[in-house]
Chain A
Amino acid sequence: MTKAPHWIVRVDDRLVHGQVCVGWCDTLGIRRLVLADDLIAACEFERELYACCPADEQSLEFMTLAQLAAALAVPPGETTLAVLSDPAAAETLLELGAPLPELILGGLHHQPGARELANYLFLTPDQEAGLRRLSARGVHLIGQPLPDSPRLDVNRLI
């Protein structure tokens, strides 16, 4: 049975890159991508930087977090992958009233003081605290770099 068009919200500190465009979108036939980041939405250089990332059949929209929060309130016309840079952005979405039943943690790479949950998922104390707040608000946190990867139940690990 084909799943109805839905939102997939992913946190990735590389933002839009090969794993997103090829690993997720091309593999699953997702043609609509959203990069939601207030700084990038306001910066022409950054927007141009990412414009060449998607394949020809894919579209990439740039949104502020407020714009994405509004968009998440209604089902998309087609399945859409939205990318955030950090768990804090997901908290902002909740504060703006967005529904966020599930958050995919696709790539948070090593930085000083970060704890390793998987080889693609390192959490600083601040990020981990933010994820605990998201968990307490009912967000299902899934560690999953690629569609075929095992789904890591992050709610139980933080």
Chain B
Amino acid sequence: MSLLRALLITHGELGAALLATAEEILGPREGLAALSNRGLSRDGLVAELRARLAELPAEDGLLLLVDAPGASPHVAARLLLGGLDSAERGRVLGPLTGVNLPLLLTFLNRRATTPVEELLPLLVERGRAGILL
């Protein structure tokens, strides 16, 4: 996998805003995209996801990040994964729910240097650690 890309699937403009904010902090980064569920049915959102996956360069992987567990972006991401063959499935990671800024910044700083099997648990840890009382 030469580049692990990320697709943020969210309500409204949350994904685009998170990406823009992360790039304000870290500078421009490659391989990032956002997809809003706005105006899309369940099947419409899955079709959009399939189209995005079809554009994925053959040598790259893709991490699906979604905002809320059980919401339509999460359901659509799981439906997408359920319909993939094993070769495609091997290139798609997640979906990881509850995406927030600490999680996204960690992804961007560590994706090139951390093995995938360690990266996902690290993202979960950093995402949770970003919530303090």
Contacts and interface: CB of A to CB of B under 8 A. Distances in A.
A132 interface: no
A17 B71 contact: yes
A66 to B, nearest CB: 23
B72 interface: yes
A108 interface: yes
B80 to A, nearest CB: 11
A70 to B, nearest CB: 26
Interface residues of B, number: 17
Interface residues of A, number: 19
Contact of A110 (B39, B42, B68, B79): B39
A18 B69 CA distance: 9
B41 interface: yes
B68 A111 contact: no
A109 B75 contact: no
B27 interface: no
Nearest to B97: A52
B70 interface: yes
Interface in B36-61: 39-44
B126 interface: no
Contact of B70 (A17, A109, A119): A17
Interface of A: 13-18, 21, 45, 49-50, 52-54, 107-111, 119
